[in-house]
Amino acid sequence: MAGERIYIFDTTLRDGEQAPGASLSVQEKIEVAHQLVRLGVDIIEAGFPVSSPGDFDSVKQIARRVKGATICGLARSLNKDIDAAAAALAPAKRKRIHVFLATSKIHMKYKLKKAEAEIIKIAQAAVKYARRFCNDIEFSPEDASRTEREFLFRVIEEVIDAGATTVNIPDTVGYAQPGEFGELIRAICNNVPNISRAIISVHCHNDLGLAVANSLGAIKNGARQVECTVNGIGERAGNAALEELVLSLNTRKEFFEGKTTGIDTKQIYKTSRLVSKLTGFVVAPNKAIVGGNAFRHESGIHQDGVLKKRQTYEIIRPEDVGFYGEGLVLGKHSGRHALIERLKLLGFKLNKQQLENAFGRFKKLADKKKEIFEEDLISIVEEQMKELPRVWAIKSFKFCGGTQINPQATVCLGKKNKAYEATSYGDGPVDACYRAIEKITKIRAKLIDYSIQAITSGKDALGEVNIKLKVAKQEISGRAASTDIIEASVKAYLNVINRFLFKTKAARRIRL
């Protein structure tokens, strides 16, 4: 029907965090959840409470501290899972328990080893049990797109009768094609007698690059909730990207018959950057909507067209997603007032102390760079606002190297007002610095991934280093920015070490 509301179910903190290397601390999850509320999502799937004490605690903290959206917890069709979800969600004003159970033949035969009748009985019992704790229950027949149609219809009918208010149809392995998946949703609408008593949701994976297309096809055929993640992060190839889904609906309103969401699109770019920073997953330059090249034109023909009429080559205005381009903003002679006004435009609300810290960092950067871009401002403010409590801090470093010289680095770190220094050799200046840090901190770490991205253009560009280390069997991401790549590399390494120490301390606190 025209003008219907599409509910946005964000699973960045659950399915998105299941992507290898995307582990977030409790405080980082809370920060993302608050930003998701500002973005305007309807439901936040905060985690899988039974999976670990850390996940339970993060769901409970989000349920207690984040207002303005329904908070959801995932559970298998087991009473212990549902109990954990209910306990974690208890503080939430609006809560949802999301129960799932596989229904495809391959899952039933090899994973669950159960017959169809058993599956229906377990699904019914799980939904009824979950209804003891709250009235908002979602049920997912896992691997629905590969489930036999008649059996899928029966399962959906039975769980709705048992009390499910939302039925989610997952394309768990990204197997479906858009026309096929849309037709499946239409078939559910036409063949499940009580379907009007529940909202149809979809949860599509991107293994064949079709998650967004399948989700949009589902909306055209009756789905009224879409499960998605910021930047499309998630297991394997990821999930449907929230920003692509929302902008498709907004840009092609007539095609989608005026269907709307509650998303404030001007928060999209900021949300994308936040998730990228905290997970360490760099957004590809050619990524739709939020990629660095999404609104840039190099072709002479394109440039000419955009200058004459922007709509010739741009179907989305950059400012509509909170992207303000890369024009010169401020310089070293700019004052606090100019900085405050620009940060307001970029969507930041800083308290007095945060502003002073940001202004100090801005001035230091302005002394190093001739041009300060908005991306520079965003980076230094986000870095300042999102720092973890620091055990180790960099005081100084120096290195030497060159042709036929074994690279050597000396690093001085601070801890509790004391300075510690070590010198080490390595394969290059970064490796030498990392070896010196290892000597000081006594924490052994294996470098899994290292990447550098120029945040702005020019010889004096601010560079962002993203790394992933394996520390005590944990894969932890870190990042930092500086005009000096070695300094950014050292800061990123220390960011991981401090995250590890913070997580270890938090884990001990949870166990106590």
Q: Are residues 11 and 111 in the same domain?
A: yes
Q: Is residue 286 part of a domain?
A: no
Q: What is the pLDDT of residue 454?
A: 74
Strand 199-204 to 393-402 pairing: unpaired
For each of the chain's 512 residues, which pLDDT tens digit applies? 557 999 999 999 999 988 877 778 898 999 999 999 999 999 999 999 999 999 999 999 999 999 999 999 999 999 999 999 999 999 999 999 999 999 999 999 989 888 999 999 999 999 999 999 999 999 999 999 999 999 999 999 999 999 999 999 999 999 999 999 999 999 999 999 999 999 999 999 999 999 999 999 999 999 999 999 999 999 999 999 999 999 999 999 999 999 999 999 999 999 998 999 888 888 888 899 998 777 764 444 444 454 455 566 578 888 889 876 544 346 666 677 777 777 776 667 777 887 888 888 788 777 776 566 666 777 667 666 555 567 899 999 999 988 888 999 999 999 988 999 999 999 999 999 999 999 999 999 999 989 887 766 666 667 889 898 999 888 888 888 888 899 999 999 998 998 888 767 644 443 32
The CA distance from 46 to 56, in Å, is 9
Q: Are 178 and 143 a contacting pair, CB within 8 Å?
A: no
* 272 lies in the same domain as 338: no
**Helix, strand, or coil (residue 176):** coil
What pLDDT, on a 0 to 100 scale, did the predictor assign at position 292? Answer: 75
- Domain residue limits at 437: 393-511
Q: 20 with 77, same domain?
A: yes
Q: Which residues contact 209 (CB under 8 A, 6 or more apart)?
A: 237
- Residue 336: CB atoms within 10 Å: 12
pLDDT at 40: 98
User: Do 246 and 339 have their domain in common?
Assistant: no
Show which of 263, 279, 295 is a domain's final residue.
279
> What CA–CA distance (Å, rounded) separates 361 from 365?
6
What is the C-alpha separation between 168 and 14, in angstroms, rounded? 16
pTM for this prediction: 0.75
> Do 103 and 179 fall within a single domain?
yes
Q: Are residues 398 and 365 part of one domain? A: no
Q: Is residue 110 part of a domain?
A: yes
The residue count of the chain comes to 512
Instruction: Determine the pLDDT at residue 2.
Output: 55
| Residues 331, 226 share a domain | no
Both 367 and 438 in a single domain?
no
Whether residue 234 is found in the same domain as residue 368: no
- Are 94 and 183 contained in the same domain? yes
Same domain, 368 and 414: no
